[in-house]
Chains A and B, each alone.
Chain A
Amino acid sequence: MNAWARFRRNRLALVGLALVVLLALSAVLAPWLAPYDPARQSLIEKRARPGAKYLLGADEFGRDILSRVIYGARVALLVGVLSSAIALVGGLLLGVIAGFAGGWLDAVMMRALEILLAFPYLLLALAIVAALGTGTLNTTIAVGIWGVPAVTRIVRGSVLALREAEYVGAARALGAPSPALLRRHILPNIVPGLIVYGTLFMANAILLEAALSFLGLGVQPPTASWGLMVSTGRDVLLVAPHVATVPGLAIMVAVLAFNLVGDGLRDALDPRLRGSV
């Protein structure tokens, strides 16, 4: 049975995939889907309750929350995809170097990795943001760098294991040069795991972007970021709870979607990984 057939049998994974497609569509088609301009303010309608005019209500500045949630998908997916790319490419490069080089270089890299992994979750990203400054691009970079150490460790582990595999040894004995070994034998075995990890990382990246933006250290106003929307809604939580809670639902749905797809991919691509990633 091929991977897609296995994936298709997993109902939760299909729900996740449908949600991911929905998110992608709303990100791409935001200008056509959104009923209002996400930046359009209408101060007399501020904190409007959900109703016929504003389906999900209006925020502190009288901006349509539904439109902002739709546009927010752009920020979440953009930051998510780009930071995942940074984490995967960076981790792949470093992991392959460490795994192949071995010796002192590997030892030094692993010690450095341990240091980065000794940062409790979120704190490394906070330190990077403290250095880079805020904004959408810097948030993306911070989230991406935050992901590099874990990917490096996964890739290095696989490279080390594969180097010892008999067929790789056979190819080496036949005189295959390192780049060919890497391309033909090692990378194809790493990629499925990376796809799975990348999908699950998307979920974490969206959460982290939202968290940084919520703290005021990520995406800056007036950009419609879900985490930022929750943060503005927090000030009026007791008079208009919908302003903060509705965008948070969007975050949860997006994270759930990528988690479901990631779990489904893991089971479909590599059943041996079940429970380990």
Chain B
Amino acid sequence: MLTFVVRRLLLAVPVLLGVVFVVMLTIDLLPGDAVTLMLGEHATKDAVAKLREHLGLDKPFLVRYLDYVGRVARGDLGRSIQQNRPVAAELADAWPATLELTVAALVIATLVGIAAGVASAVRPNSLFDGLARLGSLFGLSMPIFWTGLVLIVVFSLWLNWLPVGGAGSLSHLVLPAVTLALPSVAMIARMTRSAVLDVLREDYVRTARAKGVGEFLVLARHALRNAFIPILTLLGLQSGQLMGGAVLTETVFAWPGLGRLMVKAIFARDYILLQGAVLIFALAFVLINLIVDLSYGLLDPRIGRQG
């Protein structure tokens, strides 16, 4: 078990190195010069050169890359250009809000998605099934930022139940979390429906029924447990969707998280902050998928841990 975790974590290192490389390279290929953009068009050549040197931009790309990686390995993410604060501090301020939002969304998506999917699968082609499938089609097609605005109009403007934006209390969390969860609810409901339908056709389900196991136990002990493997894979992939969606949701609801920080960094050409933010997102994504892989073994003892 431990060797598996350690090996997977070691395997994640080249991926993260690659992510940093890609981000730095794309920024490096930038046609406009970041420094000129930062200082404005009227900056003197001297000032531009000075800032370039200060930021280390006068060195060749590979040197800068190795330099950055070396510093990250020692826990130093550099200083943000705009605020001139340690990037680690800026990220530390922002990530709890994003974690709160994405975890809330993931919980909603899992509970609602699995419940709807199971209900659909138990009575396929019923009225509920039809409505749920239609609903998930729409859920997958709605742009998340628009869903957020529509929810604001309905629940904040018309009904006056929930705040328009900002963070701080549970009532602030409801709309952003629901917004972020909706596309995943749709995906999970679809996947659960087809996974449970597949399992219900299996021989062991028929055997269980034949020996008189109640329908609820058949679902809970046999169908859902086996259907959980594909659902779990999907949850890992959905976490990536949720992080991307968080960028949009945070923007719509003025939620003070990593996504908004990242958009701000792009606008300000604060590439050091941007690199840090992308690195954190990629790290989280890798870790979540590691947890998903680990939980396969818990659900299905047949799955070994060879990696």
Residues of A within 8 A of B (CB): 12, 111-112, 114-116, 118-123, 126-133, 203, 207, 210-211, 214-217, 227, 230, 233-234, 237-238, 241, 244-245, 248, 251-252, 255-256, 259-260, 275
With CB as the reference atom, state the residue of chain A lying closest to B14: A111
Q: Across the interface, which residues of B come within 8 angstroms of A216, CB to CB?
A: 267
Q: Across the interface, which residues of B come within 8 angstroms of A133, CB to CB?
A: 30-32
B49 is an interface residue with CB less than 8 A from chain A: no
Given the interface contacts A121-B244, A230-B149, A245-B146, does A130 sit within 8 Å of B140 by beta carbon?
no
B6 is an interface residue with CB less than 8 A from chain A: no
Q: Across the interface, which residues of B come within 8 angstroms of A131, CB to CB?
A: 26-30
- Which single member of A115, A238, A251 contacts B19 (CB below 8 Å)? A115
Instruction: Determine if B146 and A116 form an interchain contact, defined as CB atoms under 8 angstroms apart.
Output: no
Q: Across the interface, which residues of B come within 8 angstroms of A126, CB to CB?
A: 247, 262-263, 266
Instruction: Determine if B30 and A211 form an interchain contact, defined as CB atoms under 8 angstroms apart.
Output: no
> Distance in Å from the Cβ of A256 to the closest Cβ of chain B?
4
- Which single member of A111, A123, A259 contacts B141 (CB below 8 Å)? A259
Cα of A114 to Cα of B16 in the assembled complex, Å? 10
Q: Across the interface, which residues of A come within 8 angstroms of B94, CB to CB?
A: none
Cα of A116 to Cα of B16 in the assembled complex, Å? 10
> Distance in Å from the Cβ of B282 to the closest Cβ of chain A?
5
Instruction: Determine if B19 and A252 form an interchain contact, defined as CB atoms under 8 angstroms apart.
Output: no
Instruction: Determine if B282 and A238 form an interchain contact, defined as CB atoms under 8 angstroms apart.
Output: no
Instruction: Determine if B19 and A245 form an interchain contact, defined as CB atoms under 8 angstroms apart.
Output: no
Instruction: Determine if A130 and B26 form an interchain contact, defined as CB atoms under 8 angstroms apart.
Output: yes
> Distance in Å from the Cβ of A7 to the closest Cβ of chain B?
17
Q: Across the interface, which residues of B come within 8 angstroms of A121, CB to CB?
A: 240-241, 243-245
Q: Across the interface, which residues of A come within 8 angstroms of B194, CB to CB?
A: 275
B89 is an interface residue with CB less than 8 A from chain A: no
- Which single member of A114, A120, A252, A256 contacts B241 (CB below 8 Å)? A120
Cα of A230 to Cα of B150 in the assembled complex, Å? 11
Instruction: Determine if B150 and A248 form an interchain contact, defined as CB atoms under 8 angstroms apart.
Output: yes
Residues of B within 8 A of A (CB): 14-16, 18-19, 21-23, 26-32, 137-138, 140-146, 149-150, 152-153, 157, 164, 194, 239-241, 243-245, 247-248, 251-252, 262-263, 266-267, 271, 274, 278, 281-282, 284-286
Instruction: Determine if A114 and B15 form an interchain contact, defined as CB atoms under 8 angstroms apart.
Output: yes
Cα of A128 to Cα of B274 in the assembled complex, Å? 12
With CB as the reference atom, state the residue of chain B lying closest to A204: B140
29 contacts between A and B (CB under 8 A): A12-B137, A111-B18, A118-B16, A118-B18, A118-B286, A119-B285, A120-B282, A121-B244, A121-B245, A123-B262, A127-B23, A127-B26, A127-B274, A129-B266, A130-B30, A131-B27, A133-B30, A211-B145, A214-B248, A215-B251, A215-B263, A216-B267, A227-B145, A241-B149, A245-B153, A252-B141, A255-B140, A256-B137, A260-B137
Q: Across the interface, which residues of A come within 8 angstroms of B247, CB to CB?
A: 122-123, 126, 215
With CB as the reference atom, state the residue of chain A lying closest to B247: A122
With CB as the reference atom, state the residue of chain A lying closest to B18: A115
Q: Across the interface, which residues of A come within 8 angstroms of B23, CB to CB?
A: 127
Instruction: Determine if A130 and B243 form an interchain contact, defined as CB atoms under 8 angstroms apart.
Output: no
> Distance in Å from the Cβ of A78 to the closest Cβ of chain B?
18
